[in-house]
Amino acid sequence: MRHPWRFLLFRNYPRSSLQFAASSHHLQVHINPSSVLHEYLHTLSSVVPTRSYSSGSSSSQITTFYSRFINLVGLKNSNFRNPVIRSFSSEPAVEQKESDVTVASDIFCKFSDVNDISKELELNGAVFTHEMVLRVLKNLQSSPDVARRFFNWVLERERERLSSKSYNLMLRILGVNGFVEEFWHLVDAMKKKGYGVSSYVRDKMTEKFEKEGSDNDLEKLKAIFATGSIDNSAEQVSSKICKVIKSEVWSDDVERKLKDLKANFSSDLVKCVVGSLSNEPMKALIFFRWTEESGLVKHDESSHNVMARVLGREDCIDRFWKVVDEMRSTGYEMEMGTYDKVYWRFCERKMVKDAVDLYEFAMAGNNKPSVSCCTFLLRKIVVSKQLDMGLFSKVVRTFTENGNVLTDAMLNSVLKALTSVSRFGECNKILKVMEEVGFVASSNMKSKIVFRLSSDGRKDETNEFMNHIEDSGSNLGASTWVSLIEGDCVAGDLEKARYDFQKMLEKEGPPHAGRALELLVNAYCRKNRAIDAWKLVHDYANENQLMPRHTTCKELIKELLVQGGFKDALSLMSLMKDNGFPPFLDPFIKYVSKSGTADDAITFLKAITSKRFPSTAVVLRLFEAFFQARRHSEAQDLLSKCPGYIRNHADVLNLFYSKKSGGRSAAAVAA
């Protein structure tokens, strides 16, 4: 067999389990090709017509040979797939969600400080790829200042995500919005990177410069295209090579035609051709192998990366791993641009296992993915059809073994993803895996988790979480208990809330239970059980010396009066008085004046003071309330039950006199 690479089109590379050695960082892949299969495909390659794959007769003939071969050798291995008739999808990777682009755009619109921007992007789990950069720039093209801020941010922090397309898009945004000086500065920067100005940008700016009469700028633009660009000759030769390759099935005749072009094969030319053949990845791979096997070029790190980008798709996955294995064994590194492109494609195509393997591979090299890439991958794992904790654990361990530290922000992002697919109950599994590599959730994070579990009514998961925290030796803390009880109250489970409150009292003691008691009381009141709430307060005050907060007492008094618990409200008022709280008069005055009797009023007045009777000012307020409620007779009854110094007080006499008709004297009123 003259050229082993000929059979790459027909071979399947089953990928064995990967092993990443910390010392060598080499990816181990083992392949066991079948010699019988090779011999048959050698015969097959000699009879395949030199016509396009799209040829119906060619496909039919190849399919016939394939079927005969399968029957001949009895090959039933499911790993062997028809190498020719299988679908080589030219469909692009699924684009990122519009919401991700909108969130990123909004962050750059809202914030100008780079630290604020970076913080918000991390909190939202934003991951920038080449495609993401293009989408955001397109979204911001009507806001050139924001677009420039975004472009500069990417240039400073993740410049490997910028491509010729993104430079040209930014160039167009600057140009059409009148930022001419910045436009030419960016053109100069593109020249240094070997990027040319696209014909679309040229046409748009030519039109603009002509319309505005900017002759100097127009001449400069024409000069750029008159001299050509650095990559122009390579692009022209690449176009000719691709035309030959695409027109026929690979054969000796194709090789002859390529050599007849007398092209100066270089790494740049190979990259250009392979990239142009991205919709026909197997032809791209054959060309890639042929150029090196024929001694035309020695592939470098850059050309290997381009080849890997083209093969990084579901229908070429085995060959992709073969190429990246060769890269690592040769000492080449995977570029972040390659990682981003393939990684995002894997994630969007739901190839989660391959995305995890790719992440592990990249973390074993020198060009390591960012923290946000890890967070995004963890989110992808937890929203997959089946939650694979093995993959989750692998990513977490790979991340921490490379010197990184898991944070609350990462856990929070993962929990949001769990919530989006109604899997928050699995949070205990997530937390345990993260704790295995040293992660310790903050008190605030524990509170968030336990509140969500309890408010969702997940009793088993809540108990598991609380028990796990205690068993691990960590202190739950009062805030965690309060969040647990608050969640119980939100779920409407008052019995569990009361049970958890009792446990909190035992663990944390009365001094830390005021907030929790307030939540419990409010929950009872919302259920129209204010009297039961008062019984709880009374019992805890007597048995545990737990004094409710002033705000708790005030709200409970209101609810007791609404729900007919006047005597209980007065008892609570006495409890407040005993503990030094100021009296809470307004709801009592309102209640008594509208629906109480004179006896109720006297009982209230005596309850609010430690003396025989409260001040005249308080009594006057009550009299005025009776009159406003048009209950004159009740006011008169109350007056008759008051002590003499109240009945004869000038302000009281004047008040009653003003309400009387017929002009009787104040003395008559007093009598």
423-470: per-residue pLDDT in tens? 999 999 999 999 999 999 999 999 999 999 999 999 999 999 999 888
pLDDT of residue 36: 36
Q: Tell me the pLDDT band of 100, cut-offs 50, 70 and 90.
A: confident
Q: Tell me the pLDDT band of 43, cut-offs 50, 70 and 90.
A: very low
pLDDT of residue 225: 73
pLDDT of residue 234: 61
Mean pLDDT estimate for the chain: 81
What residues have CB less than 8 Å from 263, skipping those under 6 apart? 237, 240, 241, 269
pLDDT of residue 98: 66
Q: How far apart are CA 289 and CA 3, in angstroms?
A: 9
Percent of the chain with pLDDT over 90: 50
Higher pLDDT, 5 or 488: 488
What residues have CB less than 8 Å from 488, skipping those under 6 apart? 454, 455, 494, 496, 497, 500, 523
Higher pLDDT, 265 or 58: 265
pLDDT of residue 290: 95
119-140: per-residue pLDDT in tens? 888 888 777 877 888 899 999 9
Q: How far apart are CA 531 and CA 547, in angstroms?
A: 17
pLDDT of residue 283: 94
Give the type of residue at 9: L
Closest CA to 584 of 616, 611, 613, 560: 560
274-332: per-residue pLDDT in tens? 988 988 999 999 999 999 999 999 999 999 999 999 999 999 999 999 999 999 999 99
640-657: per-residue pLDDT in tens? 999 988 888 999 999 988
184-239: per-residue pLDDT in tens? 989 888 876 667 788 888 888 888 888 888 888 888 888 877 655 434 446 678 88
Phi, psi of 27 (to 5 degrees): -90, 125
pLDDT of residue 473: 78
Contact 426, 382 (CB under 8 A): yes
Give the type of residue at 485: I
Angle between helix 336-348 and helix 130-139 axes, rounded to 10 deg = 80
Query: Three-state SS for 27?
Result: strand
Does residue 514 have a pLDDT over 60? yes
Closest CA to 88 of 282, 239, 265: 282
Section 4-13 average pLDDT? 49
Section 461-483 average pLDDT? 88
Query: Three-state SS for 667?
Result: helix
Section 558-579 average pLDDT? 90
pLDDT of residue 33: 37
SS (H, E, C) 380-446: HHHCCCCCCHHHHHHHHHHHHHCCCCCCHHHHHHHHHHHHHCCCHHHHHHHHHHHHHCCCCCCHHHH
HSE value, Cβ hemisphere, 13 Å, CA-based, for 257: 17
pLDDT of residue 453: 94
The two three-digit tokens of residue 152, written as one number: 């500069």
pLDDT of residue 546: 87
Q: How many residues does the chain have?
A: 671
Contact 577, 608 (CB under 8 A): yes
Section 74-99 average pLDDT? 39
pLDDT of residue 226: 67
Q: Which of 41-50, 66-75, 429-438 has the highest mean pLDDT?
A: 429-438
Query: Three-state SS for 23?
Result: coil
Section 549-568 average pLDDT? 92
Section 570-597 average pLDDT? 89
pLDDT of residue 90: 33
pTM: 0.63
pLDDT of residue 401: 95
CB atoms closer than 10 angstroms to residue 660: 13
pLDDT of residue 39: 39
Contact 396, 406 (CB under 8 A): yes
Percent of the chain with pLDDT over 70: 82
